[in-house]
Amino acid sequence: MTVQLFAPPLSGGSKGSSVGLFDGVPERDLTVLLDRAKAAGVIPLDDVLALLGVELTVDVVEEIRTFFEPLGVQISEAVELHEGTFESILDAAVAVEPCAAETTATAAAAAVSAAASAAVVAPVESAAGLELPDALAEESDNADVVRPPRRFASQSMANMAPPLGSSSDPVRMYLREIGQVDLLTGPQEVELAKRIEAGVLAEAQLADLAASGEAMDLAERRKIQRVVRDGERAKAELTQANLRLVVSIAKRYLGRGLQILDLIQEGNLGLMRAVEKFDYTKGFKFSTYATWWIRQAVTRAIADQARTIRIPVHMVESMNKVHRHQRQLMQELEREPTIDEIAAKVGLPPSRVRDILLIGQDPLSLDSPVGEEEDSMLADFIEDSRAIAPADAAAKQMLGQALYEALEELNPRERQVVRMRFGLEDGQAKTLEEVGREFGVTRERIRQIESKTLAKLRHPHRSQKLRDYLDVE
């Protein structure tokens, strides 16, 4: 059995050239996609996005339509929930540690149920006595362009999950919990949206009264507060009824660096954002609008959290473009393409392509175990190029001692001139003029002292000890 959550085509956006969008897509993959699309007469939008490796935007959707519609292929933005979908999600979540999975599932459930309340109030209009906009008092003209009741979906999902208490798997518990919530009909979505809007208006009215300091009758204030609470409950109902939409979208992004529960949690945040900004007067179904926000939240979370070192979103797009052309060249040349070949195909400098490929590499931990018995760490096999070899360190120390003994045979002024001229004290060699100012003599006099001192040091009696260390160097 398949539960279809159909979303009508998105509108808006400017049309652009589809040539640039599909440029770089491997010809074989594109041919397979086109053959399948022509045979069925329709192609899922997610399949095209997965092939392109781009982020979903209005312009991208319009370019995809421009490419496929002349071929007699319609673009479907449908999101399907199959019985096997949730089993695959459970398999993907097996790798999650129990403690981490339980924490994430608890957080995901708490994020969407925090606004729920047990109290039941009268209809918004009669309870508050507020004067609402005309749009709230009228039924939507597009109420019939919404999804029909699909209460059987909750029963199917509940049957897929094991009996409560038979498993401690937090993923199964979460899927079972959201599967017990009935899906909404079109009129129910409109009614909830009206209650949400009324709650927002009531909350704004209370804020205005608090800012102005104007007094209000206690009974009237309580009515408005009830409307605010009713709006919060409507938000929770609309959110909980669409949690399965989040799961169906999140599972498409498995294997991109985040666990399934993290993807669901981020998608739930996007769903709650969609609930807050949904405008039922536009005539679109809530699932159409929410899908956009859920995808945006999930893809942004992957870009921000999937890597140890965060990569900006625009750089992720550049990486996808380079990797797409790299795969295409590999198929054409039947070998690994060079940096120059990729750069010519992408239209970027080779140095830029090299940097993009390096950025795309995953970092390795120096503490990673190595070997069959895993008794060694990766750091044990990496050379520290900054470390000084013990023999070199000992030779350097002995050279310093020999140089010190040779300088001790000079008089104090000669010894100080040599130290300042060659930077033996602080590593900074000084000019003749700087040394002359230090001693209060001319630079010519310092040159004479230096020449005389070096002649003394070249005497075999003193220089022989130092020549031995030159052989070491």
* pLDDT for residue 101 is more than 60: no
* pLDDT for residue 239 is more than 90: yes
Pull the structure tokens for residue 239. Answer: 């959110």
Residue type, 419: R
Which range, of 31-35, 98-102, 410-414, averages the lowest pLDDT? 98-102
Which range, of 226-230, 312-316, 416-420, 462-466, averages the lowest pLDDT? 462-466
**pLDDT on residue 211:** 87
Which range, of 8-22, 63-77, 181-195, 220-234, averages the lowest pLDDT? 8-22
pLDDT tens figures, 441-456: 998 999 999 898 888 8
Span 343-372, average pLDDT: 88
Q: Using an 8 Å Cβ cutoff, are 153 and 3 in contact?
A: yes
Pull the structure tokens for residue 307. Answer: 């890597």
More confident position, 175 or 267 = 267
Helix (H, G, I), strand (E, B) or coil at 134: helix
Q: Using an 8 Å Cβ cutoff, are 241 and 183 in contact?
A: yes
Of the candidates 275, 251, 221, 1, the one whose C-alpha atom is nearest the C-alpha of residue 111 is 275
* pLDDT for residue 163 is more than 50: no
* pLDDT for residue 85 is more than 70: no
Of the candidates 179, 160, 158, the one whose C-alpha atom is nearest the C-alpha of residue 242 is 179
* pLDDT for residue 19 is more than 60: no
Which ranges constitute the DSSP H helices of 280-312?
A: 286-305
**Helices (H) and strands (E) in the chain — how many of each?**
23, 6
Its pTM stands at 0.50
Q: Using an 8 Å Cβ cutoff, are 66 and 100 in contact?
A: no
More confident position, 149 or 310 = 310
* pLDDT for residue 305 is more than 80: yes
Q: Using an 8 Å Cβ cutoff, are 419 and 407 in contact?
A: yes
Span 154-174, average pLDDT: 53
User: How far apart (Å, rounded) are the C-alpha atoms in residues 11 and 144?
Assistant: 19
pLDDT tens figures, 197-218: 999 999 998 888 888 888 778 8
Helix (H, G, I), strand (E, B) or coil at 127: helix
Residue type, 20: G
Span 283-301, average pLDDT: 91
E-strand ranges in 227-373 read 369-370
Pull the structure tokens for residue 425. Answer: 């004290």
Span 284-307, average pLDDT: 90
List of domains in the chain = 2-77 (no CATH), 120-147+188-233 (no CATH), 313-381 (1.10.10.10), 391-472 (1.10.10.10)
User: How far apart (Å, rounded) are the C-alpha atoms in residues 30 and 48?
Assistant: 9
Confidence of residue 292 (pLDDT cuts 50, 70, 90): very high
**pLDDT on residue 37:** 83
Span 320-333, average pLDDT: 91
Phi-psi region of 252 (alpha: psi -120 to 50; beta: other; left: phi over 0): alpha
* pLDDT for residue 39 is more than 70: yes
**pLDDT on residue 131:** 39
Confidence of residue 161 (pLDDT cuts 50, 70, 90): very low
Average pLDDT, the chain: 75
* pLDDT for residue 438 is more than 50: yes
Confidence of residue 268 (pLDDT cuts 50, 70, 90): very high
**pLDDT on residue 126:** 36
Q: Using an 8 Å Cβ cutoff, are 87 and 176 in contact?
A: no
* pLDDT for residue 78 is more than 60: no
User: How far apart (Å, rounded) are the C-alpha atoms in residues 167 and 102?
Assistant: 12
